[in-house]
Amino acid sequence: MKKTFKIEVDCANCASLVEEAIKKVEGVKDALVVFVTQKMKIEFEEGVDTEAVMAEVVRVAHKVEPDFCVL
């Protein structure tokens, strides 16, 4: 399953760092964070609890970039 989220991230480098970090989250098959459009696309593994995975994605993203937020 793929979902797109509106986000807020401060710079292209931050977006890249967040993207690399969330790709490592269990349950995330693939991820793309685009600074220019302020959007994040996540492809989830089959059968995962997407809400639980998103909670972990946000936690990991905040470790990398404290100002990151999902709108």
Domain 2-70, second-level architecture: 2-Layer Sandwich (3.30)
Domain ranges of the chain: 2-70
Give the model's pLDDT for residue 7: 97
Structure confidence by residue, pLDDT tens digits, 34-57: 999 999 999 999 999 999 999 999
Burial of 22 (0-12, 13-18, 19+ CB in 10 A): buried
Answer whether 5's CB lies under 8 Å from 40's CB.
yes
| Average pLDDT of span 19-23 | 98
30, 45 in Cβ contact below 8 A? no
Instruction: Dig out the tokens for 9 from the structure.
Output: 């991230």
User: What's the mean per-residue pLDDT of the chain?
Assistant: 96
